[in-house]
A and B are shown apart, each in its own frame.
Chain A
């Protein structure tokens, strides 16, 4: 059974204080690993898809990396508007359903 574990559950940073969020996964075959941002009361907003170990993608202050067992979402010099819950999900090669982690609630204080 696919498993996705995110850590930490919650993270509080000062504006400009860089950090990383972790997503560990167990799947029989990875078709894609997704990162989403979710603001309260809204649906997940797509950030990145990573397909293979060693792959990296960047968007503004966010950078996602992937290994065979985990993915990191690096946040460089965060701003208060980066405060949200960040969700990781995996898509297995044999299926079309996503398995989500529990999310990391990020708060960036000014």
Chain B
């Protein structure tokens, strides 16, 4: 199994600012995944982060808005840039090990 530490657990931010979310895994993993969960909805994949290469973004998500870093095999960050109230969501990081997928606790972001 994998233990994922994600922080911050929650934040309230002013519109136009940026927030960086960190995700630390207790094992080395090739790929880390970032999801968004808007209120009352299921999880939507934002991007896949590979160590040593640029992240792969899903349709509707762009690097300028959600820059991702993956400096090593146990750590990744997701930045939500130039925030607006529509960015208010829970953001989750995830790893897949063998055929099990594990999630961080999530970051509840409120943009005011």
Contacts and interface: CB of A to CB of B under 8 A. Distances in A.
Interface string B74-112: 000000000000000010101010011111111010000
Interface of B: 6, 31, 33, 41-45, 48, 90, 92, 94, 96, 99-106, 108
Contact of B48 (A49, A97, A100): A97
B62 to A, nearest CB: 18
Contact of B101 (A51, A91, A103): A91
B45 A98 contact: yes
Centre residue among A31, A97, A102, A103 by max chain B CB count within 10 A? A97
Contacts of A97: 33, 45, 48
A96 interface: yes
Centre residue among B42, B44, B96, B106 by max chain A CB count within 10 A? B42
A100 B103 CA distance: 13
Contacts of A43: 6, 90, 92, 103-106
Nearest to A4: B42
Contacts, number: 54
B108 A41 contact: yes
A49 B100 contact: yes
A7 to B, nearest CB: 13
B41 to A, nearest CB: 7
Contacts of B41: 102
A75 interface: no
A96 B33 CA distance: 9
Nearest to A50: B99
A87 to B, nearest CB: 6
A43 B34 CA distance: 12
A44 B45 contact: no
B99 A98 contact: no
Contact of B43 (A44, A49, A91, A96): A44
